[in-house]
Amino acid sequence: MKDPFPAYAELRAEQPVMFDERTGYYVVSRYDDIKAVFDDWETFSSENAQAPVRERGPQAKRIMEEGGFTAYSGLSARRPPEHTRIRAVAQKAFTPRRYKVLEPFIRQNIVDQIERMLARPERRGDLFRDLAYDVPTITILTLIGADTGMVDTYKRWSDSRAAMTWGNLSDEEQIPHAHNLVEYWQECQRLVAHAKEHGGDNLTADMVKAQAEGAEISDHEIASLLYSLLFAGHETTTTLISNTFRVLLADQAQWQRVVEDEKLVNGTIDEVLRYSGSIVAWRRKALKDTEVAGVPIPDGAGLLLLMGAANRDDTQFEDPEAFDITRPNAREHLSFGYGIHYCLGNQLARLQARIALQEIAGRAPGLRLADPESITFRENISFRVPESVPVTWEA
């Protein structure tokens, strides 16, 4: 996880579609192949996108059954026509008006966090913990109408979700996480019931209102969407904000350019998404006998699409191993997927990273990475999450 890029390069060059015995997945690493798979949803379904990589153990299964855990992916693992129907309702709730209302609130929250960090006399901080961790969580909780005092609880539930689905836990290790998932799902259902009874000015209430006005979506589907958003809506953005500073501060010349010219901020965020995406791999399942780049793929096979590798494919990006904030086609990265499942929250993620970069660049131009070698990444097949971004700054 610390540096998968040499392995990615080897795969692209030597085995762009490789069957991996250990996981049982066909691993795909070239840009054009991954984009084509994403685009062909009739052959390659997303139904395995949220399936546990390692099967749940008997104790975890029992805890989840007894706890009434019936959550199902809000959107990403659903197939048309169900996916089309639910996405239409969700998309209507993700309106520009909601972002407009949220923006000043997000900015204020970011400024408060930064100023708190910069006030420390020892002039040391951790942008993962001091900024990236809370901000997107508070944003999504506000958007959904959930309790913003529960950041740590939602982070705990989300960590469990990431570990239980894309991690490699033993049966024993799964037990506390199974309890967390039960609590998490119960809270999603409670939020739907609360919006039905009390209304509100938030995304949950919007979806409940749409349902009352005839939109075809069940309570269980709305709760499942919350189950997705309360995870997807912050975990990956925490990583994006962390990576923005981890990567940019490592290159002080480019950092200074951003400090001096705010117009470079948007391009920088997309280059970070390309160069070091929050999600480096995502799954699909073949629905018939087919092929990718001439390699036969049998009906029912799982595919692991390495977007982290695609984003450094030199057939798509010139000098791909270089981080370049002025790269003209950085936005063509596949970090938000592609096609019918293209990330619903991409604008919200970009907005928060953009504000974080603008506000820090304006307040702490002398910011530096303190100890880049100490940064570790969690063990996970899809989410490449730096666990700290230690920084220091001049007086």
| Residue 276 binding ligand HEM, by CB under 6 A | no
The helix or strand, by DSSP H or E, that contains position 295, with its residue range, turns out to be strand 295-297
Q: Judged by CB, which is closer to ligand HEM: 12, or 87? A: 87
124 to 143: interface string for ligand HEM, x by CB under 6 A: ----------------x---
Phi then psi dihedrals of residue 85, to 5 deg: -65, -50
Residues paired with residue 304 on neighbouring β-strands, in sequence order = 27, 283
Q: CA–CA distance from 75 to each of 45, 94, 244, 253, 382 (Å)?
A: 12, 14, 27, 41, 17
Q: CA–CA distance from 211 to each of 86, 206, 282, 383 (Å)?
A: 11, 9, 31, 33
Give the shortest CB-339-to-ligand HEM separation in angstroms.
6
Give the shortest CB-160-to-ligand HEM separation in angstroms.
18
| Residue 38 binding ligand HEM, by CB under 6 A | yes
| Residue 306 binding ligand HEM, by CB under 6 A | no
130-160 burial, b at 16+ Cβ within 10 Å, e below that, comes to bbbbbbbbbbbbbbbbbeeeebebbbbbbbb
Q: Judged by CB, which is closer to ligand HEM: 25, or 282? A: 282
- Parallel/antiparallel/unpaired status of strands 124-126 and 302-305: unpaired
348 to 367: interface string for ligand HEM, x by CB under 6 A: xx------------------
| Residue 229 binding ligand HEM, by CB under 6 A | yes
Give the shortest CB-55-to-ligand HEM separation in angstroms.
22
- Interface segment toward ligand HEM; rule CB under 6 A; list 21-29, 167-175, 232-240, 315-323: 232-240
| Residue 337 binding ligand HEM, by CB under 6 A | yes
Measured CA angle at 382 (ends 379, 388), to 5 deg: 50
Give the shortest CB-352-to-ligand HEM separation in angstroms.
8
| Residue 76 binding ligand HEM, by CB under 6 A | yes
Q: Judged by CB, which is closer to ligand HEM: 174, or 238? A: 238
Q: Judged by CB, which is closer to ligand HEM: 89, or 117? A: 89
Quote the CA–CA distance of 231 and 90 in Å, as a whole number. Answer: 15
Q: Give me the torsion for CA of 3, 251, 345, 389, rounded to 10°.
A: 70
Nearest residue to the partner ligand HEM, using Cβ: 345
Instruction: Give me the residues that bind ligand HEM (CB under 6 A), please.
Output: 38, 46, 49, 74-76, 87, 140, 228-229, 232-233, 236-237, 240, 277-279, 282, 335-339, 341-345, 348-349
